Amino acid sequence: MTRIVLHDYFRSSASYRVRIALNLKGLSYEQHHVSLAKGEQKDAAYTDINPQGFVPMLEWDELRLTQSLAIFDFLDAQVKEPPFVPSDPEGRAHVLALALTIACDIHPLNNLRVLKYLKTELGQEQAAVDGWYRHWVEEGLAALEALAAPKAGRFLYGDQLSMADICLVPQLYNGRRFDVPMDAYPTLLSAEASALALPAFKAAHPDAQEVQS
């Protein structure tokens, strides 16, 4: 039997994505909590196995996999159902573009290490840091709404659940933590509601994790 270990943090968007993905594929896994709040991602014991010092990292027997979208791709190759991207080239490209809008354009500007740097190294007040967060999230979500709306259905791409939805749900969760208004994104909210009704998403939610610190 394959041994699967997820190194994660309960509120990490990227870790939340991978928990959803593992649940959707019906895979059982161990969790190793890495507290970003306590800086455990920088401990030598962790950087020895993950030099980048980020979460998530997925151990699959002897493999050590990083970067959430790369992990999605690996899981899709291992377990065919449900697929995380459509089989047709146009649909695949569209879903990847939606997912990357979140994973590459919104999330990196607002993850914890950036926010800490703004406050500690650049001396910004908390109000300015929060304003930075909201600005980039609002700009990114507005673009995502416009990109997704023409082809959305129950989910961001028609009625087919995809990696775009897996990326969306954690981003909206964290956006709300910083009081980002959501009323301007009806397409995103509709897809989120459909996704959150699924057991795989409910079990992956930060509030459902045993360790929350």
Report pLDDT digits (tens) over 117-173: 999 999 999 999 999 999 999 999 999 999 999 999 999 999 999 999 999 999 999
Average pLDDT over residues 93-106: 98
Q: Which residues pair with 157 in a beta bridge?
A: 160
Average pLDDT over residues 93-100: 98
Q: Which of 155, 132, 145, 6 is nearest to 84 (CA)?
A: 155
Can you tell me the distance from the alpha carbon of 115 to that of 97, in angstroms, rounded to the nearest whole number? 25
Average pLDDT over residues 200-211: 96
- Identify the band that residue 213 occupies on the pLDDT scale cut at 50, 70 and 90: confident
Least confident of 180-184, 195-199, 209-213: 209-213
**Percent helix, strand, coil in the chain (nearest 5)?**
60, 10, 30
For position 95, what pLDDT does the model report? 98
Confirm if 165 and 106 have CB atoms less than 8 A apart. Answer: no
Can you tell me the distance from the alpha carbon of 204 to that of 13, in angstroms, rounded to the nearest whole number? 11
Percentage of the chain exceeding pLDDT 90: 98
Q: Which residue has the tokens 């959501």?
A: 182
Can you tell me the distance from the alpha carbon of 105 to that of 139, in angstroms, rounded to the nearest whole number? 10
The residues, ordered by sequence, that sit 6+ positions from 91 with a Cβ below 8 Å of its Cβ are 85, 157, 160
Domains observed in the chain: 4-82+201-208 (3.40.30.10), 89-198 (1.20.1050.10)
Copy the structure tokens of residue 63.
């493999």
Can you tell me the distance from the alpha carbon of 181 to that of 38, in angstroms, rounded to the nearest whole number? 29
